[in-house]
Amino acid sequence: MTTSLGNHHLCKVTLLGNLVAKPEVRYSSNPVLAIAEITLATHSRWFDKTSNQFKEWTDFHTIKVIGDIVEEALLYADKGDVMLIHGYMLDSAKSQRQIIHANFAQHFAKGYAQSINLVQLSGEINAPIKLLTTASDKQLAELSLAIKHQVYSPVSGKKQEFEMTRLVHVWGKQAQYIANNAQEGSQVVVEGKLSYQKDQQKTQFIEAKQTVVLKS
């Protein structure tokens, strides 16, 4: 891997949405830590020019929370409450799933709040770029992005290093920009939305809003 961005990449997820169920809090031993796994729903609404109607979509995010923030933000939270989550994407070796690990959580009262679904990451393209044209004549560039990032672990009390790969979908003029300026091995920075494939594993991918190719 090249080192245009240093030894580690950026991998940040910020979500504001509603709890699907009341959190179930448990405790580990050695060290004693509070642990909770929650599902957060975020909502998108857009105008579809093809049908001339507004459409809505809900994403369901699996989030693991460990440590003091569980008792600070989740202990008294309930179904339907609004949660602000900040963390990073993770390949869970234990459950063989792609999840979000939270390092910040804030609880708000039950009610409606406009959702936030924001991903900011950097990485290296590790496969040939696919440039496609959809049935509705839209251009799509599909990138496979290798991400190597470092985070503090509340379990070990040390920094840990994670490596993972995520697909990135880039649409329209940005797709052509990527096809013209990037290739396998290029370093890129992406800002977008966290989405999920319709498979049993709920495989994560990023719908890019902005993509920047960095020159080495």
**Judgement on whether residues 150 and 205 belong to the same structural domain of the protein:** yes
> Is 60 within a domain?
yes
pLDDT in tens, 30-52: 889 999 999 999 998 877 777 77
- Check whether 6 has a pLDDT greater than 70: no
**Judgement on whether residues 142 and 92 belong to the same structural domain of the protein:** no
Give the percent of the chain with pLDDT over 70.
Answer: 97
Give the percent of the chain with pLDDT over 90.
Answer: 72
- Check whether 99 has a pLDDT greater than 60: yes
- What's the CATH number where 189 sits? 2.40.50.140
**Judgement on whether residues 106 and 122 belong to the same structural domain of the protein:** no
pLDDT of residue 31: 85
Mean pLDDT along residues 68-86: 95
pLDDT of residue 4: 43
pLDDT of residue 5: 44
Q: Is the pTM of this model over 0.75?
A: yes
The C-alpha R_g of the chain, in whole angstroms, comes to 18
pLDDT of residue 2: 40
- Check whether 131 has a pLDDT greater than 70: yes
- Check whether 1 has a pLDDT greater than 80: no
> In terms of pLDDT, which residue wins out, 94 or 119?
119
**Judgement on whether residues 112 and 142 belong to the same structural domain of the protein:** no
pLDDT of residue 29: 87
**Judgement on whether residues 32 and 83 belong to the same structural domain of the protein:** yes
pLDDT in tens, 10-24: 999 999 999 999 999
Q: How many domains, in total, are found in the chain?
A: 2
**Judgement on whether residues 124 and 158 belong to the same structural domain of the protein:** yes
**Judgement on whether residues 135 and 197 belong to the same structural domain of the protein:** yes
> Is 2 within a domain?
no
- Check whether 8 has a pLDDT greater than 50: yes
**Judgement on whether residues 15 and 57 belong to the same structural domain of the protein:** yes
**Judgement on whether residues 90 and 165 belong to the same structural domain of the protein:** no
Range of the domain at 130: 118-214
pLDDT of residue 216: 59
pLDDT in tens, 175-196: 999 999 999 999 999 999 999 9
- Check whether 3 has a pLDDT greater than 50: no
Mark which of 74, 98, 116 sits at the end of a domain: 116
| Number of Cβ within a 10 Å radius of residue 80 | 15
**Judgement on whether residues 71 and 47 belong to the same structural domain of the protein:** yes
**Judgement on whether residues 75 and 170 belong to the same structural domain of the protein:** no
pLDDT of residue 23: 95
Mark which of 66, 95, 116 sits at the end of a domain: 116
**Judgement on whether residues 92 and 46 belong to the same structural domain of the protein:** yes
